[in-house]
Amino acid sequence: MQEVNFAEQDLKLVHWHDIVGDILPIDASKARGILDVCQHFGIDASECMAFGDGLNDLEMFDLVGYAVAMGDAKPELIERADFVTGTIEEHGIQAVVKHLHLA
């Protein structure tokens, strides 16, 4: 798929695993989804927290105010994270919620 020019069709290929990726419209991303929700509720993305583990989360991590990488996240994502938690199996999301006293 690397040789396909998705841009000709206003699409992009976003890898989130070594052999798996998403084909999306050029302006689509998790970050775009966060921006749309923030606009709806009248809040700034800097007030948001995002959890991720794959390369398709990089743009989202660059956007939000607090980025949490899961324990099995790609190294590139861990480098951009504000906090690294356990894996899903280790209840990593619950650990962050408890650590930050969010619940």
Cβ atoms of residues 46 and 66 within 8 Å: no
Number of structural domains in the chain: 1
Report if residue 1 sits inside a domain: no
pTM of the predicted model as reported, rounded to 2 decimal places = 0.82
Q: CA 43 to CA 59: how far, in whole Å?
A: 18
The pLDDT value given to residue 46: 97
Beta strand 83-84 with 66-69 is parallel
Structure tokens at 25: 């419209």
- What are the DSSP calls for 34-85, one per residue? HHHHHHHHT--GGG-EEEE-SGGGHHHHHHSSEEEE-TT--HHHHHH-SEE-
In terms of residue numbers, what domain contains 50? 6-99
**Residue-wise DSSP of 13-35:** EEESSSS-EEEEETT-SHHHHHH
Give the model's pLDDT for residue 1.
57
Any domain includes 85: yes
Q: Is residue 30 domain-resident?
A: yes
- What is the model's pLDDT at position 13? 82
CATH label of the domain that carries residue 40: 3.40.50.1000
Q: Is residue 61 part of a domain?
A: yes
Spell out, as residue ranges, where the chain has pLDDT lower than 50. none
